Amino acid sequence: MKSTILADRAQGMEKTILRQIVDLADASCINLGLGELSFPPPKAVTEELSREIGRWPLGYTSNAGLPELRALIAARSGMEIDADRVCVTAGSEEAIFLTLAVLVNPGDEVLIPDPGFSSYPKIVRLWGGVPISYGFDRANRFALQTERIEAVLTSKTKAVILNSPNNPSGTVYARDELQRLAAVLNDRGITAISDEVYKEIFFGETSPASISRWAPTAVVVDSLSKSYAMTGWRLGWCIVPPQLVKPIIGVHQLAVTCASTVSQRAALIALGGGAEDEKRRNVEELRRRRGLALGCLRNTLGLPLIEPAGSFYILVDVSSWQARWGSSLDIAVRLASEHKVITIPGIAFGPGGEGYLRLSFAGTPEDFAEGVRRISCLLA
């Protein structure tokens, strides 16, 4: 029954399936649902903070963030922009929240990836928008295809959310495909929202491309959480076109006033080069863990899987198990309750993820191997 107390926008705002599954974990569980690295924050950051924190003013910053941090983010962006187009936020999710707040009117459509990050459709709905899913080429490791997005564009489409490297598939979108898509969106006046929080965790020779290179009105979202193993610091940012600057900062002021001043100081250290060596070593260790995880899955489960080109997730195809154990959610719940291993069901990321489990190799290889051993107990 619909509540008479809640506002319409608050209906259905319970935790995502992902969070509900993670909440099933207890001390006896192996957690392969981790959306964060097991590495500590960079020593360069924590050590300089401990030395200097008593010397810094730690009151409010300007609503948009420390001017020197905004300038540094702009300089590192690869875009020819000034610092005024940067808003420092309480994590990347707030940046997406703000962007949709200033773009979406009731009834506007926002295209979201399927499978994709589970918060996207909820935030769209919160602002009165209508999330419309677009799919990927599953036969080609969930590759981006412009024609799939074109097929669901309408006169009501306000924005298209992109996420490369993608969560949950680990797919890095092809440069030429992003260029093709940018031309389509530019022609129709549709805003691209590019979630790039995994962009520095990639395993190929070249870094992931950003649609902002070809779409001048794109919004770029990023954070310290993934690349620098700093999830709890809640420090992100968005780079927005000039016409969105004032409204973005205005809504941000009403939501949180400003991002944490301590976290902004930490970001200056991290993005200023102090943590680059540690970040590079972490990515190399993730490359090693990726190889071990893929070998472990093939040797132990022997199921089809998607080799990630970025991020720290592997999608494992469990569709052959569904006749016996049910949906991906049923399988994940059974694994958590009976075998004490946390996995994320593909359905948590949309209908396009059904038939898969997302496993994270962000933890230790030993924990990953033990988790996969417990998963294999379903076959006993």
Over its length of 380 residues, how does the chain's per-residue pLDDT go in tens digits?
Answer: 555 788 888 887 887 877 788 787 788 999 999 889 999 999 999 999 999 999 999 999 999 999 999 999 999 999 999 999 999 999 999 999 999 999 999 999 999 999 999 999 999 999 999 999 999 999 999 999 999 999 999 999 999 999 999 999 999 999 999 999 999 999 999 999 999 999 999 999 899 999 999 999 999 999 999 999 999 999 999 999 999 999 999 999 999 999 999 999 999 999 999 899 999 999 999 999 999 999 999 999 999 999 999 999 999 999 999 999 999 999 999 999 999 999 999 999 999 999 999 999 999 999 999 999 999 999 87
Rounded distance between C-alpha atoms, residue 20 and residue 8, angstroms: 23
Q: Which H helix or E strand runs over 134?
A: strand 130-134
Tell me the pairing of strands 305-306 and 313-317.
antiparallel
Rounded distance between C-alpha atoms, residue 369 and residue 376, angstroms: 11
Task: State the amino acid at position 10 in one-letter form.
Answer: A
The fold for domain 43-274 equals Aspartate Aminotransferase; domain 2 (3.40.640)
**Angle at which helices 92-103 and 119-126 cross, to 10°:** 40
Rounded distance between C-alpha atoms, residue 107 and residue 290, angstroms: 42
Rounded distance between C-alpha atoms, residue 109 and residue 328, angstroms: 28
- CATH of 8-40+277-379, picked from 2.60.120.10, 3.30.360.10, 3.40.630.70, 3.90.1150.10, is 3.90.1150.10
Q: Where in the chain is the domain with CATH 3.90.1150.10?
A: 8-40+277-379
| Helix, coil or strand: residue 132 | strand
Q: Where in the chain is the domain with CATH 3.40.640.10?
A: 43-274
Rounded distance between C-alpha atoms, residue 356 and residue 346, angstroms: 5
Q: Which H helix or E strand runs over 313?
A: strand 313-317
